[in-house]
A and B are shown apart, each in its own frame.
Chain A
Amino acid sequence: MEFLYGALGALFANWLGVLLLAAAAALIVITWNWRIALGLLMLLYLGVASLLVSIHQAPAWVVTGYLVAMGLAVAILALATKNHEPGPSQRQATNWLLRTLILGIVAAAWWFLDPGFAFPQFSRPETDLLLWIGICGLMLLALSNNPTYVGIGLLMWSAPIYAVATVLMPGSGVAQLVGIAALLVALACGYLALLEPVVVRTNPMWWRGRRTTVVHPITPTPLAPPAAVGAITATQLRSPAGERTPAHMEAAK
């Protein structure tokens, strides 16, 4: 296990690896696709975990426990989102270009202002990476009201918390608490994702037609008894004025 984290550390503990992880965090916001986002989230966790082991000598078994917990959290969110029709809030908030611009402006502002801030015991590049992951998480929280994306944002926010807790408070049990909290957050967000009202497109040309929000499970409409079918059809095939037009007669045949 140490060897595995060592190999991953060699990949991520350099400027190219840090840049890769930062790009992964940004892609979660830009692509706005929950499948891609959850996959990239696991990559982020793997990257942060390998940095903790290779640079800060965090115990491999502790970090592995965290990765297992986060894997479960991601799986819970994925299953809940997959088993539910996309709700109205799952549509993209703004378009990808605007989101890229927002992230670009934040990155440029951070670069130019250069507040010179570093977490205790962490190097500047590590701090910048953790803050960037946190900012991307906050961006998701700010741009969406959807339980899945808010869940992803909160899980992204939990990655810096875990890193800071592992390094600043080794052996205090806080890192484990972060994992438990993240699991419960994923469970709660998954539950809310399942209970979000869905949108049913009432018109095949949905971009023209209106949308209906269904707030309860759809139950099949009971079929009318055969004897009543003719009466219903005759009633329905009258024009708004009440008379039967040739087109209606044709349809009735």
Chain B
Amino acid sequence: MNQALMLPVLPELFALFISAAVVSFLLQRWARWTALGGAVLAALLALGLWQIDFSRPLLVLGGGFSIDFGAPVEIYDFTLQLDQSNVAVVVISLLIGAGALLLAARRHQSRLFPGLAWLLLTGYTLLALMTSGVRSPLFAAPLFLTMLAAVGIFALQNGKVTDPSGPLRTLLPPLLAAPLFIIAVWYIDQIPLNPQDVTLTVTAGTLLGVGLLLLLAPFPLHGATPAAAETAPPVAMLLVILLHQVAVLHLSAQVLNTYPFVALNTDWTLWLSWLGLLTAVWGGAATVGARNAGRLWGYVSLLDWGLIIVVLAVPSLRSWTLVLFLMCLRVISMFTAAAGLVTIEAAVGSLEMEKMRGIGMRMPWNSAAYLLGGLGLVGFPLTAGFAGHWAALLTLAEVDWRPAAVVLVASGLAVVAFVRVARLMFGHISNRTIPRERATSAALAIAALAITIGVAVAPQVLSTVIGKALSAFG
């Protein structure tokens, strides 16, 4: 009778996620409180999962009950399992969700946002935990990403009657990539039957490589980011884009580790270098003409993403360390900029730069958060992104100095654009009805600025996070 009952953790985890989504939808009238509660819950979950020691996956609760953190769970033909190789991705996704919900609690974007955020977190966690299936679960990843992009559209459009082209474009890359993955997996299944046939490997590698490229959405598939940044609420844009990019990077790592012929037998790294470079250059050059603070933010995030893609093309362990470092800095910079943008948008009613003239006089902390967050995405000195950009440019210059110089010029253009915005924001105030920033919003902006400057001064504080995340990517 004294039998120990072992409970697998994953059903409870997903039940908690779905309950959080349902409660957030049911209590949408109190969206600020559900967002705040959701932020706390997501942060606690991230902290709890971070502490798990997978060498001892059992947690004995007493009364004959114990929780098994590593127990696999079967859903249809897929096996989900929490292990050392994916826990970091889940934790990063939860932290992104917690940050977005915290910002939404301050200025709630929409009543539906907390529920949608939990739905997205559930989906991306499911995708990260998928370890095996009848066939490799990788082939289904673009279809899952398509579904999550479709859910993300509801958060991005936010019920506003406005130009829908930004959210609409988020659907294209994953759905375009889906057939390539499916056909590639069929070719991969044929390789053991005919190992001498090199064409099978090359075809499968090419299809997977092109599919990954589509998912990474470099130039010219980049349109969703700046367009959505202009029309969507900054918090929704932050959540949808960052969760998608973390998932795609994880998928790329899985594909490259499982099928090394994608990088070895094809010109994938060459395509990646060129398209990443074009993305960075386009992101930098387009900032010059931006007349909307959201779109400017979108363009600099594109520049940063282009650099990450270029670094991804360097086939060594060091490049994954650098990619993760850049990604962590990107998350911090984007959050800092979003913290400022949310308050500015709420005060001005729009992100048009002309309407933001002199807003720095009324909202100095939030304006500074936007500027320093944006400059962090460019890699400006004394911002979070500086160390990462500098290391990436040095790595690139070791191989070939010309791409590094081109990225540097593109970054210079983006800095010029931000100098223009800074002059406008801290210039003569045109709209004297703009209220002064509240203590709570100023406190959050100051906290974001402190994190940004802290990471800029001592980037080594991220080494523990990156070291653990490397087990999921490296």
Q: Do A and B bind?
A: yes
Binding site for B on A (CB under 8 A): 89, 119-120, 134, 141, 145, 147, 150, 154, 157-158, 160-161, 164-165, 168-169, 171-174, 177-178, 180-181, 184-185, 187-189, 191-193, 195-197, 214-217
B residues near A119, Cβ cutoff 8 Å: 183
Interface size range on B against A: 35 or more
Whether B183 lies near A174 (C-beta < 8 A) is: no
Is B288 at the interface (CB under 8 A from chain A)?
Answer: no
Tell me which of B30-38, B168-176, B306-314 binds A: B168-176
Contacts of B134 in A (CB 8 A): 171-173
Task: Tell me the total A-B contact number using a CB cutoff of 8 A.
Answer: 107
Interface of chain B residues 71 through 117 with chain A (CB within 8 A):
76-78
Given contacts A171-B134, A181-B143, is CB(A217)–CB(B164) below 8 Å? no
A94 vs B277: C-alpha distance in the bound complex, in angstroms?
A: 33
Measured between alpha carbons, how far is A187 from B147 in the docked complex, in Å? 10
User: Given A181-B147, A217-B161, is A120 in contact with B186 using a C-beta cutoff of 8 Å?
Assistant: yes
Decide if B182 touches A197 in the complex (CB within 8 Å): no
Majority secondary structure, B binding face = helix
Chain A hits for B157, CB < 8 A? 191-192, 195
With A185-B146, A187-B150, A195-B161 as given contacts, are A161 and B77 in contact (CB-CB < 8 Å)?
A: no
A residues near B77, Cβ cutoff 8 Å: 172-173
CB distance from B139 to the nearest CB of A (A): 7
Contacts A145-B165, A178-B143 given: A184-B160 contact, CB under 8 Å? no
Residues in A with CB closer than 8 Å to B167 are: 188, 192
Given the known A-B contacts A173-B76, A215-B161, A216-B161, are A168 and B147 also in contact in the complex, defined by CB atoms under 8 Å?
A: no
Looking at the assembled complex, report how far the CB atom of A160 sits from the nearest CB atom of chain B, in whole angstroms.
6
B161 touches A141 (CB 8 A): no
- Give the distance to chain A from B429, nearest Cβ to Cβ, in Å: 26
Within 145-190 of B, Cβ neighbours of A (below 8 Å) are at: 146-147, 149-151, 153-154, 157, 159-165, 167-168, 171-172, 175-176, 178-179, 182-183, 185-187
- Give Cα A157–Cα B185 distance, bound, in whole angstroms: 19
Give the Cβ gap from A93 to chain B, nearest Cβ, in Å.
13
Top 6 A-B pairs, shortest CB-CB distance:
A184-B150, A192-B164, A188-B150, A188-B153, A168-B186, A181-B146
Asked if B11 is at the interface (CB within 8 A of a chain A CB), the reply is no
Contact indicator B178/A196 (Cβ below 8 Å):
no
Q: A169-B186, A178-B143 are in contact. List 16 more A-B contacts (CB 8 A).
A: A145-B165, A154-B172, A161-B175, A168-B183, A168-B185, A173-B77, A181-B175, A184-B146, A185-B175, A188-B154, A188-B167, A195-B159, A196-B163, A197-B162, A214-B161, A215-B162
